[in-house]
Chains A and B, each alone.
Chain A
Amino acid sequence: MTPNPLLTPQEAQRLGAARVGIAGAGGLGSNIAMHLTRAGVGHLTVVDFDVVSESNLNRQFYFRDQLGLPKVAALCTNLLRIAPALDLRTHAQRLTEANFRPTFADCEVVVEAFDNPESKSAFLRALLPTGKPLVCASGMAGWGHSGAIALRRLGPTLYLAGDAATAASATCPPASPRVGIVAALQANTVIALLLGVQP
């Protein structure tokens, strides 16, 4: 069953059968999961150790009555409201270089959706050698400069979304529009990879 009636039967079958991994369920990951669920992806594996906090509500797919809940639990509730048949596997744990591979072993595509550069780099060190398609992000803080955000393909299996420059900081915080653009770009890339069209 898909929440997306605009798909052809073949597209619905393809997306419905796919499992996509999402590392992180913050500004990027929660919105990527929402996009993929609305698009009709049938199986998601989402990993995040954090809980929903007040500072998340400006850009993440959570609500005020979910403050304090584990992000993966709140996300599960929200995604199942969109697609009750979604097969959502969640892990409330911290990902390390030692557990990236087993956690996402059965995922066709894995999305990097962390906010700190150390975790982003660890993700790449652990999963790039597997040859699995990866969709990562770097550079999305602040406002404006939408045209600087791009999708780049690096080698045969790696995609990088963002401007690769604008770091989040106290004076340049991550905000919903730019983070949302990158999250949508990552989700769009995943769908393209699954459907075999040009990302």
Chain B
Amino acid sequence: MPHFTFQGTPAETKAERLADFLRERGLDPARTLCELNGQALAPGADAPLAEGDTLNAFSIVAGG
């Protein structure tokens, strides 16, 4: 069970992949922009989650 930092606070999850973690948090991976360990990931991108990762996630919502 990876322990990592999510949105600046400690978190843990049973999910082993980013997309599964986002779903666990009620976020749609296809509409979520993530920054994993300082690298931006486009919506829909997946990646393994590992101990000590730093993850930030931002919803892509309608409007403009």
Give A residues with C-beta under 8 Å from B.
24, 26-29, 113-117, 120-121, 124-125, 128-129, 136-141, 152, 154-155, 157-158, 160, 164-169, 174, 179
Given A155-B38, A155-B39, A160-B33, decide whether A121 and B61 contact each other with a Cβ distance below 8 A.
no
How many residues in B have their beta carbons less than 8 Å from beta carbons of A? Answer: 21
Indicate which residue in A114, A164, A165, A169 contacts B64 across the interface (CB closer than 8 Å).
A114
Q: How many A-B residue pairs have CB under 8 A?
A: 89
Considering residues B41, B42, B44, which has the most beta carbons from chain A within 10 angstroms of its beta carbon?
B42
Indicate which residue in B30, B34, B56, B62 contacts A167 across the interface (CB closer than 8 Å).
B62
- Residue interface mask B51-63, A partner, CB < 8 A = 1: 0000010111111
Shortest Cβ distance from A178 into B: residue: B63
Give B residues with C-beta under 8 Å from A.
30-31, 33-35, 38-45, 56, 58-64
Considering residues A28, A160, A179, which has the most beta carbons from chain B within 10 angstroms of its beta carbon?
A160
Closest approach, in angstroms, between the C-beta of B42 and any C-beta of chain A? 4
Given A121-B30, A154-B56, A164-B58, decide whether A128 and B64 contact each other with a Cβ distance below 8 A.
no
